[in-house]
């Protein structure tokens, strides 16, 4: 339900300028023949594209209020991804529809339209589209290292500046109509301000809590657990949430990276479990204790506490165990009945199993280790056999995307309702 509030807000933000556009001029001026219709569609796409672009910049700013509307930061990022794609496609087709009016004059004038530097406002638009195209290709087609990609993506702000200049200087409904101009400029400047701050300035100011790196526990060859102790105030969170951590000095770089918390709540020392997947995570185990760390968050809605039904199935794939460890460590009363499936390829990959086993002896939770090298992949059928009465349980999934989506599909086939399946998508982008 909350998620729908976010979608509704986006829809309204897009429909307002469109509504205004429809009333600036009589519609028979806009749609009186084929060329005029094409031009009008081009203009609509321009307005929609610019509005979506502004909204997307606002969504890129990590802000708690917006998170509430979308029920979790992960949802925001998945929206950001989709809205970005839609904005890009709208803006790509924007000039294609406008070229009809030039084609009706002559092929040469249509060709001139696509040649940069003929006309300054048009050139702003071309520059914006060119930068966007490069960055979108980097996002969708080329797998860059996370922090290289993240750095490249900051230049979307530059593309947006050109898009905004284009919309201000091109003779159009935006330049003629004060209301439309004020609306789009306000939204644009908010988006620009927030994203510029997020991309370039947020490192300079620190409004976040500061922790010190206390200890690094090497759990196996690939997985480490970092223990962090608060300098003064400690973070309030509920189990299952994640944080952005940023090392304030040292050789590891100062970009913020998202990690799930593995310690129970409430707690003084924060723990996170990290599997070395990329450059950043590989470097973590070489860090020296004492490093200052900025903690931003907490974010996310993935928690057993957010689900009314206390009969739950937890399914973890690999390092996806992290939020469940936090939840298991936080189970205070005995009202929960939980089956935790812990899927790894081999037994030695199941980190923190000893601790989970200890929690199991308290009787709050049943641990079902599942090693695919021995028994094959876990399936919904196996789950329904091992955990009877599946239909009356809520299922929480966290792990690699193929595991989560594969199991979700199988569960839906077993007539489990979609609203009873909850998952935490690790891949933020």
Partner 1 sequence: MKKLITISLFIFWAVVVAVLTAGLVFYQNNKNTNNQLARGNFLTGAPIGINGLPANSSNASGSQAALNNQNQTSSLSLAEIAKHNNSNDCWLLINNKVYNVTSFLSAHPGGAGTIIPHCGQEATQAFNTKDIGRPHSGSAASMLASYYIGDLNQQTSQQQIRQNVQNTNTVTPATRGGEEEDN
State how far the Cα of 194 lies from the Cα of 389, in Å rounded to an integer.
Answer: 48
Range 157-176, binding partner 1 (CB under 8 A): 171-173, 175-176
Beta bridge partner(s), residue 210 = 294
Per CB under 8 A, 185 contacts partner 1: no
Which residues make Cβ contacts (< 8 Å) with residue 294, sequence separation at least 6? 206, 208, 209, 210, 211, 245, 246, 247, 248, 256
User: For partner 1, which is the closer residue by CB, 34 or 200?
Assistant: 34
State how far the Cα of 96 lies from the Cα of 73, in Å rounded to an integer.
Answer: 35
The piece of 83-91, 192-200, 295-303, 369-377 that touches partner 1 (CB under 8 A) is 83-91
Among 4, 68, 82, 366, binds partner 1 (CB under 8 A): 82
Give the shortest CB-56-to-partner 1 separation in angstroms: 13
Spatial CA neighbour of 101 closest among 9, 181, 36, 48 = 36
Per CB under 8 A, 130 contacts partner 1: no
Per CB under 8 A, 212 contacts partner 1: no
Give the shortest CB-94-to-partner 1 separation in angstroms: 10
Which residues make Cβ contacts (< 8 Å) with residue 238, sequence separation at least 6? 265, 298, 303, 305, 330
For residue 345, what are its two tokens?
């390829």
Per CB under 8 A, 22 contacts partner 1: no
Compute CA distances 246 → 74, 212, 222, 240, whole Å: 19, 11, 21, 20
Per CB under 8 A, 35 contacts partner 1: yes
The piece of 87-95, 200-208, 306-314, 353-361 that touches partner 1 (CB under 8 A) is 87-95
User: For partner 1, which is the closer residue by CB, 101 or 306?
Assistant: 101
The piece of 24-32, 213-221, 359-367, 402-410 that touches partner 1 (CB under 8 A) is 24-32
User: For partner 1, which is the closer residue by CB, 26 or 376?
Assistant: 26
The piece of 25-33, 56-64, 326-334, 336-344 that touches partner 1 (CB under 8 A) is 25-33
Beta bridge partner(s), residue 340 = 314, 367
Q: Check if the beta carbon of residue 289 is closer than 8 Å to that of residue 215.
A: yes
State how far the Cα of 329 lies from the Cα of 272, in Å rounded to an integer.
Answer: 13
Among 50, 136, 270, 398, binds partner 1 (CB under 8 A): 136
For residue 49, what are its two tokens?
């594209």
Site of interaction with partner 1 (CB under 8 A): 24-26, 28-30, 32-36, 39-40, 43, 81-82, 85, 88-89, 92-93, 96, 98-99, 101-115, 119, 133, 136, 140-141, 171-173, 175-176
């Amino acid at each position: 339900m909350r998620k729908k509030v976010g979608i509704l807000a986006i829809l309204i933000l897009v429909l307002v300028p469109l509504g205004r556009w429809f009333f600036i001029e009589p519609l028979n001026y806009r749609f009186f023949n084929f060329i005029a219709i094409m031009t009008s569609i081009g203009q609509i796409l321009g307005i929609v594209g610019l509005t979506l672009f502004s909204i997307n910049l606002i969504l890129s700013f990590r802000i708690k209020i917006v998170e509430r509307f979308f029920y979790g930061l992960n949802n925001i990022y998945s929206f950001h991804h989709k809205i970005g794609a839609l904005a890009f496609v709208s803006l790509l087709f924007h000039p294609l529809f406008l070229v009809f009016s030039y084609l009706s004059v002559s092929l040469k004038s249509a060709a001139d339209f696509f040649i940069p530097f003929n006309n300054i406002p048009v050139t702003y638009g071309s520059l914006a589209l060119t930068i966007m195209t490069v960055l979108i290709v980097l996002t969708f087609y080329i797998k860059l290292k996370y922090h290289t990609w993240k750095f490249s993506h900051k230049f979307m702000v530059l593309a947006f500046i050109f898009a905004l200049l284009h919309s201000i200087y091109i003779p159009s409904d935006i330049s003629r109509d004060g209301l439309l101009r004020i609306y789009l400029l306000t939204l644009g400047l908010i988006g620009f301000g927030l994203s510029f701050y997020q991309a370039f300035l947020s490192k300079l100011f620190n409004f976040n809590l500061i922790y010190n790196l206390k200890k690094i526990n090497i759990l196996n060859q690939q997985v480490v657990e970092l223990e962090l102790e608060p300098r003064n105030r400690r973070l309030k969170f509920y189990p299952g949430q994640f944080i952005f951590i940023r090392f304030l000095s040292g050789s590891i770089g100062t970009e913020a990276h998202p990690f799930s918390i593995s310690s129970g709540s409430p707690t003084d020392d924060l723990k996170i479990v990290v599997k070395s997947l990329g450059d950043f995570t590989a470097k973590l185990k070489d860090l020296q204790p004492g490093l200052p760390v900025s903690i931003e968050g907490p974010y996310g809605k993935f928690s057993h506490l957010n689900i009314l039904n206390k009969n739950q199935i937890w399914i973890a794939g690999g390092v996806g165990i992290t939020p469940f460890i936090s939840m298991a460590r936080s189970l205070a009363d005995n009202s929960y009945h939980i089956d935790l499936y812990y899927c790894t390829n081999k037994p030695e990959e199941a980190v923190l199993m000893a601790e989970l086993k200890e929690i199991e002896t308290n009787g709050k939770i049943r641990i079902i280790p599942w090693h695919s090298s021995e028994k094959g992949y876990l399936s919904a059928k196996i789950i329904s056999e091992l955990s009877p009465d599946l239909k009356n349980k809520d299922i929480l999934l966290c792990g690699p995307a193929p595991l989560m989506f594969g199991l979700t599909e199988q569960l839906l086939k077993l007539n489990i309702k979609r609203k009873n399946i909850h998952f935490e998508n690790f891949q933020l982008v």
